[in-house]
Structure 1
């Protein structure tokens, strides 16, 4: 098959009409077809797409489908013909439509015998109906209205209502191209009205994680003890709920708090679905089907509900990682998360997270541990409660999502070869809740951080000799702070969809203000730099603001265009002359500006050649010591434009997608610093000091997660000046080989210049 051509169809319908051509008569994706020829072994392996063969029966079927589609859209007289052109054993299908006039609705009326249903429908109709006089006679709109009426009834107690009760009578006047429509809602056979139901009692049953009421080992053990296998914890919670737990691991409050239909409530399908959704979001249950209902034996129109739940395994372990490659440098980031679900039988989750990041530099010929440039080890413990824990009595905000209270503690060890070793401890209390299905809030009222840096004596001496006191102050001191953070997100629930939408996340981080007030009230002593101390330690005082704005545009199917803009600023004040190490911004990395390694971009137009000639041993040593650390700033602006598209529908059991992207931005210093010449933010120089990277990537979508491989190239490098910044076009012939530019750079900067950066990770970059 070569091409498909549609003629005579309105533009607004042509793309949809193309979908009515049978899949086996549509052109192959070129890449899918080549993979089939190369790897499938003539269909023995399920890889790629087999060549699609012309079939006249399927062509006729496609013609009828397109014709029926147009008629359903209001072109009642539409006719479609087809023609086939053959050239070099490839076929072109041409479908030609004669749409005829568009029929419109002239008159609409309803016929509803049940007075209560009639009043309800006429009250709600304006909120959902697509069927209006003057609009196109569209059978899809009739089907939409029919479904909306069904949902309306199910939200208002009509448990026994079926779609079959809703029918349409319509009469088309061909000469006038109009249609008259009557919508009919019939009563149940033999009854004068539809019954409305209320909720009665609820039975909650929790099975074992294998879906059974017992397992074989337990059964043998219990029989030996003269006990009954499958004995459950059974509790009558109150006059409404009865709780049966065969796993013997849950308290009733873990479930009862997220059941949104109570005794005496009118049956509501939305509340039924909400119960299922919230119980699933607790992340402790594997299978949560919708509640089932049984009518009570009397004639009171009441429903007893039953909820059967299968829990997840009590303990799980997950490993994640990403790898980077760039010339003689390589690195990895490996994480392991151990999860204990339902720690205290109330759906609490305990997480132990271990993370190890290492960056190697083999460019000097070093191997093994001697090639390690820096290491970062983190141990984190999170205890997550699925509710708000507070001395104040807040109503449970579970309508749009499960709220959480998280107690967190993280210990970090960071080592930079020849420069510094740092340790930090962070303890925090965090609340998160959903205001609506689109709006999420995260509040950390208490965040206490302690950090200590031990600077290498040789590095300290060199830095002081060159008057680089800010580095000594930044990395070689003890400091703590107490602060608060708040984050607001919009449309986070849409991030893994293919729709058109905007996403926003804004974060405010403020620290040290309470401590500053306390030291002034207590008149605590100052250190040698004039800073207030508390318990003999200085503390940081700052405000930090960061936003992440994204626009996702669907271009049809799974093709997406994504634009991201993420600025941020951190301002030290009061007891601090500069931000602490952990609060600065850094450029580069797999989720940032991908053509640069993490921490190797900026600030501004800062060029590491300022350390002096590379042939100076003293200068070269300082270069090596500060590598991957000295390029930070208090201001960040990052932007990305990425086009995502499908490549192969079946690639060894996964979907293979592609991406083309451009990243731009940098970090800057807030004020001029001798340590970072040309690194200060200046509006008039913002483009000159902006980095630009371009690249392409592959995404292997396995359904439950995505493997990602990105190849990014430096396009505009702000460490140079004028036209020399456009390194990609000016030195294109040196992308993959050495030349005069790379030789000069290595002589001046003491390190190789790498155009390309490979990033391998799990998940999309944004």
Structure 2
């Protein structure tokens, strides 16, 4: 076959699409905006453009490592903010200027000026005295009681910079902390919280810590029954007269604290309204006379019995006669919301007898049945397709909060450009049924979480895939497992058992001929039977938007037939290979790791990075992972400079059939991938990105039909590298992404010729056709 491989393909990526004209139009338009004439000529007479506000720390009393974060903290307070810049230019200001004065509140010019554009920020808009006081106040709040702030303005070519010089002097530290409370029940409760105080002797004075301390004490008191207490009932007095730059802190309960806030409360009656609807009269409270008592603890107002009593009673953390605690309060609400059956969940605490509270839970159900239809368009490189999903849901199927779902789907994908091959188009259809219980169904008492509602999920499905000119596949699957959240950042997905069965059908004569010529293609149509547990753990704190650094981690372990294969004594290398339903069962251990890091550079710019690793170890009854479990490389969410499944394994050269037919079916048992992407806002809904991707896949064992494919100590030399740029259109409900990428390192080229920087030639149409990969996708790649 070597003589049929076109030599030019080794200088680029096989079968890449032609660049889209629209992309170049957009790129040229953006460049035009960025390089257009200066915005200064649009400034009013006598005005200067405010381009920068900066803070200089003038002190030798602060350790060097603290000066930079303090400077950033102070500069973030300055108002107003200068116009947005990109590479030193102000495209939004330029669009505002060229839009002129719109004739009405509608139309393109108004949209360009007021929605996309940004009015000039002038020096006259800056109130230096206000900013000085703001900075001085902030410095005092972090312990610099004698701070001084001055400011100065410099103007260069009508561009103004305001510099604020801050002189903090010596920071004040905490000398003593006194909980100055009386001997009342409330005073003793406050005093008992002192061991966990955030205010520690020797630490710098900080107003934020004082506020946090009041909230900490309030939270602890809430867990001791003080329902009506709040942080405003506490005061912390500061005495700075002791000298030597030290302060004494005195924590007290205010004298005007209401009597209700000074008493702990217990729970009286608990009322549950499972089928509550909002009326013009608002929430209508029940009483024991018109409610049904369940197990002597909970009153149900549900004459139609829409829910089984136990299904809601087990979610209640309050019991009559118990002390009120905020922890039980939040847990109950979280469990009710986590059921997934209610549109609104509201609770109300009402004074009952002395120091007692009645609790009312108003639960407004979602529609019991729902039908949803989705029509999706998909594109990646030269592949285009569509998919239709019809989803029917029945909430509360058995009156205990169960969710019954039936899904029918169908779709197709076809190659409309580039070089057509036998895998160029396919269609598929299938159906899936799932039943989710909002509790754990197990033969033993297991409660992995008390804060969130766990789910037991049964799922089964069937799919038919038809690659019209090659083969078709029938696949069936069944799984049973549990989903639960440990806390807001940690989630677990345990499939106790997943069974998958894949059987090929209708292998065409043309594809059969290919199997004789290119043996690796046979793996895609081998009958497959897998069964075993799968566990996935996810950790993320990306919802902490106030943090500069956030992370996402997902780790997965997939096992198949490990114990069964050992019992049977399977050994494929020695000819002892066994079947289930006419398919060799797969015996393997597979590990997936996905780590992502997000660093917020500015309010509108982020550096996102990802590292992925996958390892599959086949043994006993198998020598390679089943095709559907293998890793692949490339595509719009991976190495974007290479089309999906076209890269690897290792330094193996992709197979061609004839001059133009290429099989995008490269898979492996081991995977490494690294990505980093700079993301920034361009204007309005338009964002842009620069990215670099690297990685490859490898086989666990040598394959004589794929030289260079096995993982070895030289794997670093077989890493592919690509880079590119793209636009993202953030429509709030979805992100439309376009990427244009090119390879920088091609691992299947001869050693010493894999870096291709010297071959980049954007003027060469043939180079562009073979190397530029355009992707249109939904959502961010990671």
TM-score for the superposition, normalised by structure 1: 0.82
Q: 1:155 aligns with which of 223, 226, 229?
A: 223
Q: 1:309 aligns with which of 360, 363, 372?
A: 363
Tell me the equivalent position of 2:333: 276
**Structure 1: distance between partners of 2:707 and 2:174:** 72
Q: In the alignment, is the contact (CA less than 8 A) between 1:419 and 1:456 conserved in 2?
A: yes
Tell me how far 1:88 sits from its aligned partner. Answer: 4.1
Tell me how far 1:378 sits from its aligned partner. Answer: 4.2
**Structure 2: distance between partners of 1:370 and 1:190:** 80
Q: 2:313 aligns with which of 253, 256, 271?
A: 256
Tell me how far 1:68 sits from its aligned partner. Answer: 1.2
Q: Does 1:594 align with 2:636?
A: no
Q: 1:385 aligns with which of 401, 413, 437?
A: 437
**Structure 2: distance between partners of 1:375 and 1:492:** 39
SS at match of 2:193: helix
Q: In the alignment, is the contact (CA less than 8 A) between 1:213 and 1:246 conserved in 2?
A: no
Q: Does 1:140 align with 2:208?
A: yes
Q: 1:508 aligns with which of 557, 560, 574?
A: 557
Deviation per CA, 1:267-310: give whole Å up to 9, x if none. 11232223223322322222224x221111x32x1111112222
**Structure 2: distance between partners of 1:538 and 1:581:** 13
The 1:497/1:389 distance shift into structure 2, 3 A limit, reads farther
The 1:724/1:338 distance shift into structure 2, 3 A limit, reads farther
Tell me the equivalent position of 1:675: 705
The 1:47/1:27 distance shift into structure 2, 3 A limit, reads closer
The 1:697/1:55 distance shift into structure 2, 3 A limit, reads same
Tell me how far 1:373 sits from its aligned partner. Answer: 2.1
Q: 1:690 aligns with which of 716, 719, 724?
A: 719
Q: Does 1:295 align with 2:351?
A: yes
**Structure 2: distance between partners of 1:494 and 1:507:** 22
Q: In the alignment, is the contact (CA less than 8 A) between 1:387 and 1:396 conserved in 2?
A: no
Tell me the equivalent position of 1:46: 115
Tell me the equivalent position of 1:228: none
Q: After TM superposition, what 4+ stretches of structure 1 lie above 6 angstroms from structure 2?
A: none
Q: Does 1:711 align with 2:763?
A: no
SS at match of 2:73: helix
Deviation per CA, 1:178-237: give whole Å up to 9, x if none. 32221112466686992111112222224567x44999xxxxxxxxxxxxxxxxx96432
Q: Tell me how large the CA RMSD over aligned residues is.
A: 3.5
Tell me how far 1:161 sits from its aligned partner. Answer: 1.2
Aligned length: 702
Q: 2:485 aligns with which of 431, 434, 450?
A: 434
The 1:339/1:496 distance shift into structure 2, 3 A limit, reads farther
Tell me the equivalent position of 2:775: 758
Q: In the alignment, is the contact (CA less than 8 A) between 1:401 and 1:434 conserved in 2?
A: yes
> Superposed, which structure 2 residues align to 1:418-457 within 5 Å?
418-454=469-505, 456-457=507-508
> Superposed, which structure 2 residues align to 1:54-203 within 5 Å?
54-55=123-124, 58-129=127-198, 131-173=199-241, 176-186=244-254, 194-203=262-271
The 1:197/1:190 distance shift into structure 2, 3 A limit, reads closer
Deviation per CA, 1:339-380: give whole Å up to 9, x if none. 4333223222233345555432233798xx999523344432
Tell me the equivalent position of 2:750: 721
**Structure 2: distance between partners of 1:530 and 1:181:** 78
The 1:595/1:419 distance shift into structure 2, 3 A limit, reads same
Q: Which moved more, 1:252-261 or 1:663-672?
A: 252-261
SS at match of 1:126: helix
SS at match of 1:471: helix
Q: 1:641 aligns with which of 676, 683, 691?
A: 676
The 1:496/1:321 distance shift into structure 2, 3 A limit, reads farther
**Structure 1: distance between partners of 2:380 and 2:499:** 36
Tell me how far 1:731 sits from its aligned partner. Answer: 2.6
Tell me the equivalent position of 1:230: none
Q: In the alignment, is the contact (CA less than 8 A) between 1:28 and 1:51 conserved in 2?
A: no
Q: In the alignment, is the contact (CA less than 8 A) between 1:697 and 1:709 conserved in 2?
A: yes
Deviation per CA, 1:412-434: give whole Å up to 9, x if none. 22233422211100111111223
Gaps (5+ residues) in structure 1? 216-232, 743-751
**Structure 2: distance between partners of 1:563 and 1:514:** 38
Tell me the equivalent position of 1:351: 405
Q: In the alignment, is the contact (CA less than 8 A) between 1:385 and 1:404 conserved in 2?
A: yes
Q: In the alignment, is the contact (CA less than 8 A) between 2:228 and 2:261 conserved in 1?
A: no
Q: In the alignment, is the contact (CA less than 8 A) between 1:482 and 1:515 conserved in 2?
A: no
Tell me how far 1:397 sits from its aligned partner. Answer: 3.5
**Structure 2: distance between partners of 1:75 and 1:559:** 32
Tell me the equivalent position of 2:42: none
**Structure 2: distance between partners of 1:144 and 1:184:** 15
Deviation per CA, 1:542-585: give whole Å up to 9, x if none. 22222222333344546433332221122332223433221221
Q: In the alignment, is the contact (CA less than 8 A) between 1:78 and 1:100 conserved in 2?
A: yes
**Structure 1: distance between partners of 2:496 and 2:561:** 13
Tell me how far 1:52 sits from its aligned partner. Answer: 2.3
Q: 1:374 aligns with which of 419, 423, 426?
A: 426
**Structure 2: distance between partners of 1:17 and 1:174:** 29
SS at match of 1:61: helix
**Structure 2: distance between partners of 1:638 and 1:57:** 48
Tell me how far 1:311 sits from its aligned partner. Answer: 2.6
Q: In the alignment, is the contact (CA less than 8 A) between 2:631 and 2:668 conserved in 1?
A: yes
Tell me the equivalent position of 1:462: 513
Q: Does 1:415 align with 2:445?
A: no
TM-score for the superposition, normalised by structure 2: 0.81
Q: In the alignment, is the contact (CA less than 8 A) between 1:114 and 1:192 conserved in 2?
A: no
Q: Does 1:324 align with 2:375?
A: no
> Superposed, which structure 2 residues align to 1:648-667 within 5 Å?
648=683, 650-651=684-685, 656-667=686-697
Q: In the alignment, is the contact (CA less than 8 A) between 2:423 and 2:467 conserved in 1?
A: no
Deviation per CA, 1:81-124: give whole Å up to 9, x if none. 33333444443222222323322222322211144444444443
**Structure 2: distance between partners of 1:583 and 1:607:** 22
Q: In the alignment, is the contact (CA less than 8 A) between 2:224 and 2:264 conserved in 1?
A: yes
Tell me how far 1:6 sits from its aligned partner. Answer: 1.5
